[in-house]
Structure 1
Amino acid sequence: SAVEENNKRYQENPQLYRTRQEINEHIFGTITRQWGYNHTNLTGLEKVNGEHSLIMLVYNIKRAINILTVPDLIDKLKKWKSPYKTKGVIIFRRLYLSLFMDLIEMNLTIAA
């Protein structure tokens, strides 16, 4: 069975599983336990993947804010040079910055 195969792989290389737990499980623990995101209201693989991608985007933005601070992150985003030469990326970048600034302002308004 799949459980037996997984147990066998774990027994063969327990350090690999410990490393995985240290790296990956922390992220999901934060999202499920601290944020309370433990299920989705959407159905269908595409919709659930989209929702999960948004949650991961928020996690990464919050992590970047904690590491860089908001002004530094905004400065880096403004200076970012896309490796892609399409007009769509430029539009996306402007939209992303606009949404990001709106979120920051909304969060500061709620916190105040």
Structure 2
Amino acid sequence: MTIVDWDREAVKRGLADGTVLLIDVREPDEFAQGHIPGSVSHPLSGFDLDRLQALIAEDGRRPVLSCAAGVRSARALAYAQSRGVPLTEHYAGGFKDWLGAGEPIE
């Protein structure tokens, strides 16, 4: 399994320059309580690889998974890779790191 950890600064740059599609795999209630601006919700509990691949293909930006602290996003990467989907990147610190650093949330 291949996992590439992104840090907050890399995520911020990618969101700012429009090259990153940040995919939040937390549950809908967590996403609704606050999320990183520009991220999209794709909960791990209903992780649909076909829908995810369609989203990524349609969007065209580099997909980076995110969750609360990097555990669920790593699990999602492992699942995707086990099914032949070449996703490798996630925000290792996740929402907790973002919020803890005082970054804006929606």
Pick the structure with more helix per residue: 1
Q: TM-score, normalised by structure 2?
A: 0.26
Pick the structure with more strand per residue: 2
Higher relative contact order (CA 8 A, sep 6+): 2
Q: TM-score, normalised by structure 1?
A: 0.25
Structure number with larger C-alpha Rg:
1
